[in-house]
Structure 1
Amino acid sequence: MEALASLIVVGILSSVFIFGLKTGIGCGFSKVKWPVVFGLCILYFIIAVVAGYFMDAIDVASFMSSPLASAIHITLALFMVFGGIYTMKKWNAGCDVSKKTFLILVFPCPVCMAALLVSCVALSTVVTIDGVLIGAIVGIVFAVSIILSTLFMRNLGKITQLVGFQFSGTPDTLGSVMVFIGVFYLTAAIMIPAYIAAGSPDSAPAVPFTSVEFTSLFLTLLIIIFGAVLTRMADGGTPKKKTPLTPENKTNPK
């Protein structure tokens, strides 16, 4: 029984670690200074401790299915999509704005906050310690995930060289990741409230396939196509080889 409880704890903390990767990807590809990274770690640690303290007083399902959470979720997703496109376009034009736009990716979103709260609640069913301490454990794991993933993304070029190919994360890569996560968040904003409502005791019996499911799937497909078209527009088609800007070609452009 103790081995099973240990496995459950490891599984919960592993899911917390995965949720921290989003912030680490933003910090790594944007190459912001370490004080900013540590500041974000402290912010998420505080959020986790607060979540552990109030975990018995907050109904996560009601919050995630509320209009307020959906509005924040969709707004953040749209900011992420257009922020990613703006980052790619500016980088292709020779300007790096990733140190500003990365904030959209690392901003504490409803999904991350709900994940921290759910993790605290799940841990409280396995271990018998104070809620604040549970929140501190979750916050530490989240912070470690941010630091390790930031280190990994910043050294991605050296790591890929070891396996035989070259890939170095740039602000253009950050923009692509932001567009992908933004489209994923838009899809989740449609699907999550429906699944929460379907799982509630007061929900009507499920039928094989209704117009609601068809509409959800159709909107999800439209969002995916929308994100793909916007990414294609941001890339501007086939990328052209750029000539490095030197004093010679600056004064005598060809």
Structure 2
Amino acid sequence: MATLIVIGILSSVFIFGLKTGIGCGFSKTGWKVVFVLCLLYFGIALVAGYFMDAIDVTSFMSSPLASAIHITLALFLLGGGIVTMKKWHAGCDVSNKTFLIMVLPCPVCMAALLVSCVALSTVVELDGIVIGALVGIVFVLSILLTTFVMKNLSKMTQKLHINFAGTPDTLGAIMVFIGLFYLIAAIMIPAYIGASAARSTIPIVFGTAELTVLICVCLLVVFGAALTVAADRSREKSAKGQ
């Protein structure tokens, strides 16, 4: 049972890294920037593991400040996504700037790393710095793997005879859908944490509600990508018709 819980927590960490990987993959940024971001997140995970016993994450996540941060990030993502798509259709690529909204460390990701460290410490008997390193490694692997897949997605889809350009337009669409998810999370997470205050740390991190939220994230990303593909095909047909 403990092994399954550890796997579940690390899987959650992996999924949280997808946002950064998607932002790097669909932008024109190079691998040097990706590696710098990986080192940054790994350092944050080490700090989270070291200070995990000194911070009350549950109280923070259920506070009005956490909701305000979620809403602010959501607005930045929505605005950045819309600007990215509009500029791309106008012949200008601004993804090398707007992708920073997706990839730079945000309070949500840092809280996720901290909560994951706390959860692992209740299951495995390791020093905080070692737990932080483990969480950081999984997060970095998520970023690297997702970035590689997204940067080569057009080549992969061509083998399946699917036309998917993977342009900054796609990045903008995904930013909009993740922004919408953040708006929903701003309402759901504080209410859930407040209702679960009496629970132990493990169910708070790895429970039915958390799995539902993570699945919703994946569905939103897939749905956004599908809409972008459909829009690309529609524009290509219109261009051929003209």
**TM-score, length-normalised on structure 2?**
0.80
**1:9 counterpart (6, 30, 43):** 6
**2:143 counterpart (142, 146, 157):** 146
| % identity of equivalent residues | 73
Tell me by how many angstroms 1:93 deviates: 0.3
Q: How many residues align?
A: 209
1:131 corresponds to which residue? Answer: 128
1:117 corresponds to which residue? Answer: 114
Structure 1 stretches of at least 4 aligned residues deviating more than 3 Å after TM superposition = 238-243
- Pairing 1:188–2:171 present: no
CA distance in 2, matches of 1:65, 1:8: 23
1:211 corresponds to which residue? Answer: none
**1:155 counterpart (140, 148, 152):** 152
CA distance in 1, matches of 2:47, 2:148: 27
CA distance in 2, matches of 1:196, 1:10: 22
State the one-letter code of the partner of 1:135: G
Deviations 1:69-117 (CA, angstroms, capped at 9, x unpaired): 2222211110100110000000000000001000011122232112111
- Pairing 1:102–2:108 present: no
Q: CA RMSD in A?
A: 2.3
CA distance in 1, matches of 2:115, 2:71: 21
2:29 corresponds to which residue? Answer: 32
- Pairing 1:46–2:43 present: yes
What is the correspondence of 1:175-254 to structure 2 with a 5 Å cutoff?
175-201=172-198, 239=235, 241=238
Q: Which has the higher helix share?
A: 2
Contact 1:64/1:110, CA 8 A, preserved across alignment:
no
- 3-state SS of paired residue (1:31): coil
Where structure 2 has 5 or more consecutive residues not aligned to the other structure, the ranges are: 199-223
**TM-score, length-normalised on structure 1?**
0.76
CA distance in 1, matches of 2:154, 2:167: 10
**2:88 counterpart (87, 91, 95):** 91
